Structure 1
Amino acid sequence: MTETFKLVHLSDVHLGPIVGFHPRHMNAKRALGLVNWHRGRRRVHLRPVADLIAADALAQNPDHIAVTGDLANLGLPGEFAAALTWLESLGDPQHVSVVPGNHDIYSGRIGTASCLSAWASFMRGSDGVDDDQPVHFPYVRKLGPVALIGLNSAVPTPPFVAAGRLGKSQIAELGPILDRLAGEQLIRVVLIHHPPLPDQAPPRRALQDAVELTEVLERYGAELVLHGHNHRDMLAWRTSAGRGIPVVGVASASAAVRHKDEPSARYNLIRLRREDGIVHVDCETRGLDGTGVITSLGRRDLIAPE
C-alpha cells in the first residue's frame, strides 16, 4: 500500500493580545505597528479563532504540522513566550515545524529575546545538531516519505517595509540539499514565509532574492513549496525537469472576519504520496464557513497545468 503523509499548513496566526509592551521596546516601526494593530488588526486576528482552527487541524490526525511564520505582531519577548505556548498546544517539536515571518523578526532584537531562540526546538533539523547550538537555515526534517526544508526569509526592516531576504548562504546551501534529498527518493517540501516567486507581492513586501530562489527550484526541483505572508490562498507553478512544482500560499489562521480582500481563517490539509514514481499532492482547504463553523472549503489534486 502506498504510504500517504498528512501535512497541515498554518500561517500568519498573529497571536493577540499584544502583551508585555514596554516603552524601552519602542521605535518608529513598533510604534506604527502598534497603531495599526489597535486601529484594525486586533479586531481581525483573534486567539479563539486560532485555537478553533488548531483544534480542527489536530482532529484530522495529521502526521505533521508546518507553520510558516508570523506568530507574533511586533516581535516582542512576551509574544515569543505566548507563541511558544501555542506551538506546544499543537504538539511537540517532533510533530511541529516552524519558519519565522517578518513580524517575528520585526525591527531588531530586544536584548537577548528572539523567536530563533524561543522556538528553536521547532526549527531544528533531524541531523542531530546539539540543542545548545543556534538554529541554522536551511534545516531539514526527514519524516517518513517526506523531507521538510525550512528557510528563513525574515529580516528586520524599516517602517512600511515587510520585505524578506534569504541571502547568499541559504540559497547556496539549498540546491545541494534538494539534490541530495531527491537521490533519497524523499518528497521535498520547502517551507518559507514570503511568497517565493518574483511578482507575487509588491516590492515593499516581496522576497528580494526571489529570482535566485526560483532558479534553484527550477534547477534542482521540489515536490511542493509552502508559504504565507499575503494572507490569501495562492497557487503558482514552476517547472523542473519537466515536472510542475506547486507553490501554495495559505491565508491567516486567525482571521475572525474578512479583512479587505483577505478571507477569514483557514488552513490547508495536504496529503502526499508517491505512486509509480509520481508524487501526488492533494490539498484540502478547511476554515470558517461564515457561521463560525470550521468545514471543508474545497479540495483539489495539484496537477501541473498543460
Structure 2
Amino acid sequence: MTEAFTLAHFSDVHLPLAHGVGWPHLNAKRALGYMNWIRKRRHVHQRAVVDRLIDDAKALRPDHIAITGDLINLGLPREYETALDWLEKVGAPERVTVVPGNHDIYSALRGDPGVGRWAAYMGGEGDTLAFPFVRRVGPIALVGLNSAVETPPFRASGKLGQHQLEIAAEMLDALGEEGAIRVVLIHHPPLPNLAPPRRALSDAAHLAHLLERGTAELVLYGHNHRTRVDWLPSSRGAIPVVGIGSASAAVPHGDEPLANYNLFTFFRNENGLRIRHIVRGIDGADLSVKKIGEMILTPPA
C-alpha cells in the first residue's frame, strides 16, 4: 500500500417519511413506530442535513462511502424506493456500500423485496442478497454483516446467527492471508455492553470472540446514534471499534450529538498501518459542517 485510501462512514440516515402507513402494511409495530415518528423523530431527522453531510464528504473526495444501516424508518415499500433513489444520488454501487439496520428490516412485507432493492450496494445481484459479503475497494476489504432481524414492538435488538458468524470467520481469515485491510461493517454495536439488552446484538460476545483472533483492522457500526471509539484486544494487537451518530440529526435529542460522520484515511509508514480518524458534523443553527475531532487510531497503553 503506497498511497493513502480514504473511507467515509455514515449511519442512521432515517430518511423522512413522506406519507403515512397504508392499511395493507399496518400492524402494531408500524402503528407505534409511526406515532413515534410523528411525535418525536420527524423533528430530529431531516433530509437536508444528511444531504449536506454527503456533499461535505464528496468535496473531500473519499475513495469509498460506507453506510451502516437505518436508511429508512418503518420498512415500507415506498421508503425502500425513496432510499434507492437517495443512494443513487450518493454514488454508484461501486463507490458506496450499505449494510441494513433494524429499521430497514422492520416488519414483514409479504412478497416485497424490501432491502433487496439495494442489493447492488450490498454485493448482490438483482434483488438477491447473501450475508456476509465482501467488497474489495483498493487495499480495503469491506466485510458486510447483517445484524437486522424482525423484532416485536419496543425491541430493536439484532442477531447474526451461527451460520453468518462461521462464514464471516472464514472470509476474514482468508482476507488476512491475502494482506487486505479488513473493515467490518455492522449496524448494531458489535461488542457486549454497548447497548441495553432490548437494543443490543444478542450474539455480540460471539462476534467479539471471533475478532479477538485478530481478524480485522477496523470495525464500524451505528445504531446508538453516538460517536464512540472502543478497543478490542486481539492476538494481533487491539482493534478499533468505532460508532457514529445519526447522519440526519438536525436538533439535539437526549445526549445524542448533532449529525456527523466518520472519515478514515489508511496509510502505511515505518510503523506499519496507520488510520487517521476525523469526525465531521454540523455545528450551530446554520447547519454548517465542520471538523469535530481528529486523531490517529493508536491503541491506549
What TM-score do you get using the length of structure 2 for normalisation?
A: 0.97
Q: Does the CA-based 8 Å contact 1:2-1:275 persist in structure 2?
A: no
Residue in structure 1 matched with residue 122 of structure 2 by the alignment: 123
Counterpart pick for 2:279 among 285, 291, 295: 285
Measure the CA separation in 2 of the matches of 1:213 and 1:27. 32
- How is 1:228-247 mapped onto 2 (pairs within 5 angstroms)? 228-247=222-241
- How is 1:44-55 mapped onto 2 (pairs within 5 angstroms)? 44-55=44-55
**Matching residue's letter, 1:79:** E
**Which structure 1 residue ranges, 5 or more long, are not aligned?**
126-130
Instruction: Give, in angstroms, the shift of residue 235 of structure 1.
Output: 1.0
Q: Does the CA-based 8 Å contact 2:21-2:34 persist in structure 1?
A: no
Measure the CA separation in 1 of the matches of 2:95 and 2:236. 33
Measure the CA separation in 1 of the matches of 2:39 and 2:110. 24
Label 1:80 to 1:20 Cα distance change in 2 as closer, same or farther (>3 A).
farther
Measure the CA separation in 1 of the matches of 2:192 and 2:108. 26
Residue in structure 2 matched with residue 161 of structure 1 by the alignment: 155
- How is 1:38-77 mapped onto 2 (pairs within 5 angstroms)? 38-77=38-77
Instruction: Give, in angstroms, the shift of residue 110 of structure 1.
Output: 4.1
Instruction: Give, in angstroms, the shift of residue 21 of structure 1.
Output: 2.5
**Post-superposition, which runs of at least 4 consecutive aligned residues in structure 1 deviate over 4 A?**
none
**Which structure 2 residue ranges, 5 or more long, are not aligned?**
none
Counterpart pick for 1:273 among 251, 267, 270: 267
Further displaced range: 83-92 or 269-278: 269-278
Instruction: Give, in angstroms, the shift of residue 178 of structure 1.
Output: 1.0
Instruction: Give, in angstroms, the shift of residue 183 of structure 1.
Output: 1.1
Write the deviation string for residues 258-286 of structure 1: whole angstroms up to 9, x where unpaired: 10111110101110123347221111001
Further displaced range: 287-296 or 269-278: 269-278
Measure the CA separation in 2 of the matches of 1:13 and 1:97. 14
**Matching residue's letter, 1:267:** Y
Residue in structure 2 matched with residue 257 of structure 1 by the alignment: 251
Is 1:78 matched up with 2:74? no
Measure the CA separation in 2 of the matches of 1:232 and 1:296. 16
Measure the CA separation in 2 of the matches of 1:27 and 1:133. 25
Measure the CA separation in 2 of the matches of 1:146 and 1:298. 23
Instruction: Give, in angstroms, the shift of residue 241 of structure 1.
Output: 1.8
Structure 2 SS opposite 1:74: coil
Residue in structure 1 matched with residue 293 of structure 2 by the alignment: 298
Structure 2 SS opposite 1:188: strand
Is 1:100 matched up with 2:104? no
Q: Does the CA-based 8 Å contact 1:77-1:110 persist in structure 2?
A: no
Q: Does the CA-based 8 Å contact 2:77-2:112 persist in structure 1?
A: no
Residue in structure 2 matched with residue 144 of structure 1 by the alignment: 138
Q: Does the CA-based 8 Å contact 2:214-2:236 persist in structure 1?
A: no
Measure the CA separation in 2 of the matches of 1:56 and 1:35. 32
What TM-score do you get using the length of structure 1 for normalisation?
A: 0.95
Structure 2 SS opposite 1:66: strand
Instruction: Give, in angstroms, the shift of residue 221 of structure 1.
Output: 2.2
Q: Does the CA-based 8 Å contact 1:193-1:229 persist in structure 2?
A: yes
Measure the CA separation in 1 of the matches of 2:22 and 2:3. 50
Residue in structure 2 matched with residue 208 of structure 1 by the alignment: 202
Measure the CA separation in 2 of the matches of 1:66 and 1:26. 31
Is 1:192 matched up with 2:191? no
Further displaced range: 15-24 or 88-97: 15-24
Further displaced range: 222-231 or 17-26: 17-26
Instruction: Give, in angstroms, the shift of residue 240 of structure 1.
Output: 1.7
Q: Does the CA-based 8 Å contact 1:18-1:73 persist in structure 2?
A: no
Structure 1 SS opposite 2:104: coil
